[in-house]
Chain A
Amino acid sequence: MTRNLLVRLGLATAGALVLAGCSGGGSGGGGAAGGEAGLIAVAASDDSCDVDVAELPAGTHTFAVTNNGNRVTEFYVYAEGDRVMGEVENIAPGLTRELIVELAAGDYQTACKPGMIGDGIRNDLTVTGEAERLTEDELLAQATEDYSRYVQSQTVALTEKNDEFVAAILAGDIPGAKALFPVARTYWERIEPVAEIFGDLDPAIDGREGDQAEGEEFTGWHRLEYDLWVLGDVSQSGPIAEKLQVDVAEVVELANTTELSPIQLANGAKELLDEIATGKITGEEDRYSHTDLWDFAANLEGSEAAVQALRPALEERDPELVVALDTEFADATAALEVHRSGDGWQFHDQLSADQLQALSDAINALAEEVSQVAGVIAG
């Protein structure tokens, strides 16, 4: 956890926002908007991703994603540069989930991510019709709206996975809880700059041992991490787990009524990379479980999502920076990819100093470019 940039800049959190095109659960969601073009079926498995159509008219569409595989999957619609237009997380085997997304004319890609990792299985999607021409202000407004939608879908998955994690703790299922720990945290780590805005909740949820003021209890994920990995005993962990569940629910509610300004988005993207540099590459964050690379991947994905939300505006203002950002995000992702292990990652203590330095260098190179974004947006 870190002190938050957004707080320190004294920028207000905006009021409620309109959430475009996201349906979290199996409730069917979409209503009238979804009905316009009918459902687009997506059949996902562990090694395929069949999307009903490759061309669509501009407008609002609903994808119904069915997971026929054995691994949890995710479904994304990306604009150029992997700008997230919409995504649905945490689709368990056998489940169907819907995604409502509004698409202007242009070239897109869809992606299924079995195991929730990597680039996923991609398909091209062409949307035809009148291309919109947005003003710069509209592009920026679009960016914050797109990112809010991203936050919304992350918080849905955060709640679900964290509930599973808490349930495993309460059931005394140590192996199950250990497996869920880095996965539940992934959704938090992707949107950490947003989640951190809310003062006391961040330290309570994500504080590390020794961060507490005198008289403050060590709570949250890292306390449970300690119980799981060091104590190997969760018989006394129930109250901590239940408090975590309550705190996460509160953060989720707050996060979903908050809209970031474009500058905050840009700074948040940089902040996530600084988190990697100071917390994950050093192994500080997950010092008992050594699952730092899960957080690393999530921070990197979250940073890219925030930067790409700004992409249309950046292309207007500084196309060379967009090229540099694409290159460096690709390089950093490739540097991390070396350490993939199954559906997860190697543990931090399995990496040599040279390997960690290579990761550190890749993040430094990327973060230098990302740190330019705020100035371009403000300028």
Chain B
Amino acid sequence: MSEETRAAPGAGSGPRLSRRRLFGLAGAGTAGVLAGGGVGFLLGDSVAEAGGPGGPGGRTGGAGYGDLAAATEFDGAHQAGIVTPAQDRLHFAAFDIVTDDRTELQAMLQEWTAAARRMTRGEAAGEGGAIPEVAESPPDDTGEALDLPASGLTITVGFGPGMFVGPGGADRFGLAARKPEALEDLPAFPGDTLRPEISSGDLCIQACAHDPQVAVHAVRNLARIGFGVVSVRWSQLGFGRTSSTSVGQQTPRNLFGFKDGTNNLKAEAGSALEDNVWVQSGDGPEWLTGGSYVVSRRIAMTIETWDRTSLVEQEQIIGRTKREGAPLGTGEEFDPVDLTAASISENAHIRLANPNSNEGSALLRRGYSFVDGTTELGRLDAGLFFLAYQRDPRTGFIRVQRNLRTDLMNEYIRHTSSAIFACPPGVDGPDDYWGRALFD
């Protein structure tokens, strides 16, 4: 076999597991910032302690990440990277399709799938590897992930509206008839300050890993494979997860300093995932059954004005306490949100976003904090890159976002990018590829 293995299988669980290495990389990561909870995981065993006495320690101990170096299963009924326990780092990229040739597009998706399968295992992107036998050849893999373990990498692909219908309604690849009705550019929402150049896209790749370099490596190599077929339209790095997608995970804090994702839909939610996350047979075109829709929103925070807001006001805006993350008027983070409670303001974020305020709509959020340097005004260009998976955006994100029109938090955020993609179901073995049922 000519596949080059980046790191010996099982390295993650043996004594040679380089936790220090992971820690070092994380520290030197995209923004050099580590969430407190992340440190606890990276240093190993004291996760429950990191939760603090009286905190949700019992929920953060056992499952969750498991081994940070280990590989995630690539095959499955659903794509990995959705209900997979949210990894610490993100690189998300949206692409424009630049070819007119359906076969080329199909071939690229096959190549992408194969490369993603290898990289997910901790192997090189291309079969030739990072160090080719013939030194006169450029390496098949860009090399920055050599010696790094799989790091929990997941690569998730999505198809944008533009892949089905081009400008003027053109049927670009003979796929127009298969476009799901729900796959439409998101409507304008009050207060949107979107920048078109970092919005929408015909395809997307979400790469998540515990090591930022592994996530970047994945996007870089897939973009390279795609030259001539797709062109990167925009991309976004995220340095810290802002949601838990498994009950085994400690709830992280976003850049407002509040725990985020306490009430998220999680992998253990059982039938609620079928109801709210996975596209069901009969929902639309059959090729998407078992898939999901992802909505991305780059939400910039007006950090400086938030930071000089009093604690009581911050807590009123969110509807939770800052220390514990408990709904106002209760004591513990996971206490249920009582929408009749007068302690939670009419326009508090958790009230308006709650499923019970949205006809039961629940999203699986998978967002990441970002800091993209500073703005031209010398302010931190930072916020939350919001990602949410749902069975139908019309009853999911769109409904919830409309309800957030009067959210007190709006004063401190600006949505600067927006996109939607339909994520096909998972792949089943080496002969399958992303979107096969769509092209068949």
A positions within 8 Å CB-CB of B:
2-3, 5, 7-10, 210-214, 267, 270, 274, 277-278, 281-282, 284, 353, 356-357, 360-361, 364, 367-368, 371, 374-375
Contacts and interface: CB of A to CB of B under 8 A. Distances in A.
Interface residues of B, number: 28
Nearest to B187: A214
Contacts of B188: 210
Interface centre among A8, A267, A374 (most CB of B within 10 A): A8
B313 A9 contact: yes
Given A8-B313, A267-B310, A3 B191 contact: no
A364 B376 contact: no
- 8 closest residue pairs by CB, A with B: A371-B308, A274-B305, A360-B377, A353-B376, A357-B378, A2-B411, A8-B408, A357-B377
B236 interface: no
Chain A contact surface mostly: helix
Contacts of A282: 377
A361 B378 CA distance: 8
15 contacts: A3-B347, A8-B316, A8-B347, A9-B313, A210-B188, A213-B190, A213-B405, A267-B310, A274-B305, A278-B302, A278-B305, A281-B377, A353-B376, A357-B376, A371-B310
A211 B313 contact: no
A374 B379 contact: no
Interface string B382-420: 000000000000000000001001111011000000000
Nearest to B308: A371
B29 to A, nearest CB: 27
Interface in B230-256: none
B2 interface: no
Nearest to A212: B190
A367 B308 contact: yes
A3 B408 contact: yes
A295 to B, nearest CB: 16
Contacts of B313: 5, 8-9, 267
A329 to B, nearest CB: 16
Contacts of A278: 302, 305, 411
A217 to B, nearest CB: 13
Interface in B273-330: 302, 304-305, 308-310, 312-313, 316-317
A353 B377 contact: yes
Interface of B: 188, 190-193, 302, 304-305, 308-310, 312-313, 316-317, 345, 347, 376-379, 402, 405-408, 410-411
B411 A371 contact: no
Nearest to A372: B308
A8 B188 CA distance: 26
B190 A356 contact: no
A227 B347 CA distance: 32
Contacts of A375: 310
A364 B304 contact: yes
A368 B308 contact: yes
A7 B313 CA distance: 11
Given A211-B191, A364-B304, 13 more contacts: A8-B313, A8-B317, A8-B347, A8-B408, A210-B190, A210-B191, A210-B192, A213-B190, A213-B402, A270-B308, A274-B305, A278-B411, A357-B376
B308 to A, nearest CB: 4
Chain B contact surface mostly: loop
Nearest to B305: A274
A214 B192 CA distance: 13
Contacts of A7: 347
Contacts of B310: 267, 371, 374-375
Given A5-B313, A277-B302, A211 B347 contact: no
A281 B376 CA distance: 11
A212 B188 CA distance: 11
A82 to B, nearest CB: 22
A277 B411 CA distance: 12
Nearest to B405: A213
A3 to B, nearest CB: 5
A207 to B, nearest CB: 9
A281 B302 CA distance: 13
B305 A356 contact: no
Contacts of A267: 310, 313
Contacts of B379: 360
Interface centre among B317, B376, B410 (most CB of A within 10 A): B376
Contacts of B305: 274, 277-278, 367
Contacts of B407: 3
Contacts of A8: 313, 316-317, 345, 347, 408
Contact of B378 (A210, A360, A374): A360
B70 to A, nearest CB: 44
Contacts of A2: 411
Nearest to B348: A8
B302 A9 contact: no
A270 B377 CA distance: 20
A112 to B, nearest CB: 35
Contacts of A9: 312-313, 316
Contact of A371 (B193, B309, B376): B309
B376 to A, nearest CB: 5
Given A8-B317, A357-B376, A360-B377, A3 B406 contact: yes
Contacts of B406: 3
Contacts of A357: 376-378
A6 to B, nearest CB: 11
B298 to A, nearest CB: 17
Given A9-B312, A371-B310, A211 B376 contact: no
A353 B374 CA distance: 13
Given A267-B313, A278-B305, A361-B378, A3 B411 contact: yes
A150 B183 CA distance: 54
Contacts of A353: 376-377
A360 B405 CA distance: 27
Nearest to B376: A353
A63 B345 CA distance: 46
A9 B411 CA distance: 14
